[in-house]
Amino acid sequence: MSHGTGKLAFASANDLLEGYRHGTISPVDALDAVLDQLDRLEPVLNAFCVVDKDGARQQAEASASRWREGQPKGLLDGVPVSIKDIILTAGWPTLRGSRTVDPNQQWNEDGPAVARLREHGAVLFGKTTTPEFAAKGVTDSPLTGITRNPWNTDLTPGGSSGGAGAAVATGIGPLALATDAGGSIRIPASFSGVFGHRPSAGRVAMYPPTPYASLAAFGPMSRTVRDAALMLSVIAQPDVRDWEADPTPPLLYADLLDKADPSTWRIAWSPTLGYVDLHPEVRAIVTRAVEVFRGLGATVEEVEHVFEDPWPAFHRFKRGLTAFAFRNVTPSQYNLMDSSLVEDIEESRGATLEEHLAAQVERAMLARRMGEFHQRFDLLLTPTLAVPPFAVGRNSPDGYNGRSWYGFTYPFNLTRQPAASVPCGLTEAGLPVGLQIVGPPRNDLIVLQAAHAYERQLPWQRFAPLATRTNTP
């Protein structure tokens, strides 16, 4: 069991499946343990906007019956999974953290990743909170209020998948389906002390397109790399609704995690990418983490300057997407919306096609630069974020503007490379810090292998958030 506590809520997905296989754990018992955690911690964390206990129990009982008959129907049969409230889920409203979305409509379609989870027997029990339309790096919204960090509830868990990060960190499901258009998986993974993987372009089918279109990816959050690898093999299976998605079946990533030889890796380590103002405590923690790879025999070279800050191109490109996505918002709807999102929408008015296409050209040049970079290096390591978690009710920490604290994440939404955040230590205040692992275009496997190799040297599951320490040694 994860955390060495014997608590079923902290069992990994792979532990659960092993227990189901041998008849020592029931999917119903696993769900009950997760729901008990949810009942105890949700009043503190505010990580969920939908909880469907009855529906989840029906799914768990059906799974238990299949396991008794020796006929599990997929790779995740009986494993509890939460879904971020950006992703279509049949039977549940997808309100996207917004009071402007009418809940009284037909909710009869699963998005591709959710459909794959159901086909593989996952037990879907609830939807996790998001800022309005997943538009910022912390998780609060006019619809659901503030979601809090389980390590210190005065702080943010990050965003926009903050509900997912807080849930996974505290044993409210071993797996969460999340989204990332500027760091929205990796930010809460770092701030909540869990693993999060933003897959490469087209690896996981998306439908309908998010407001942030080609910047976005759907991916897993988990407490172990192996769990995320297993989930990625499920959600990355093809779906014709996304014309840009890779039509080839995915690898069985979990079976390949141990097949790499870290001593052959050429790794670039960049503390700032050349422009990020890094908190000294974060620098010290991540620098120590990089030494783990040297200890594994990898060749590690420090590269201070990787590229110029691509924020201007990111901002101009996103500005055009924002103008289009919110072109029909009415003045009365503005009164219902997050004020920072309203500011973004207002600022996007007047975005031109020329400006948007020019940003797309800059994006292509950055992607080319990283393609050439990965001719020299198999992997790039950076801090995930410039800072430790900061106070709730704010969109950025003291001393940083609206985006500089997540300056390590958004470049790889532009280049659409696979990137993951791995917990790599705690600050003196006991707050988690993440190491970002970036791989070459379309090579999710090496990112997962590197994260797994690191995890084996520093199994972070022994660290537990404050909200769960009464259950841990």
Give the active site residues: 84, 160, 184
Distance CA 431, CA 151 (A): 6
Q: Residues 259-298, buried b or exposed e (16+ Cβ, 10 A)?
A: ebebeebebbbbbbbebbebbebbeebbeebbebbeebeb
380 phi and psi, to 5 degrees? Answer: -120, 130
Between β-strands 195-198 and 419-426, what pairing exists: parallel, antiparallel or unpaired? antiparallel
Segment holding 453, helix H or strand E:
helix 444-457
What is the sign, positive or negative, of the torsion defined by CA atoms of 444, 450, 451, 453?
Answer: positive
Structure-token match 């404050």, residue found? 466
User: Which of these, 35, 15, 37, 34, lies nearest to 25 by C-alpha position?
Assistant: 15
Distance CA 165, CA 188 (A): 5
State the Cα angle at 427 between 198 and 10, rounded to 5°: 55
The residue type at 129: T
Length of the chain, please?
473
Distances in Å between the Cα of 460 and the Cα atoms of 136, 194, 222, 393 are: 27, 8, 12, 28
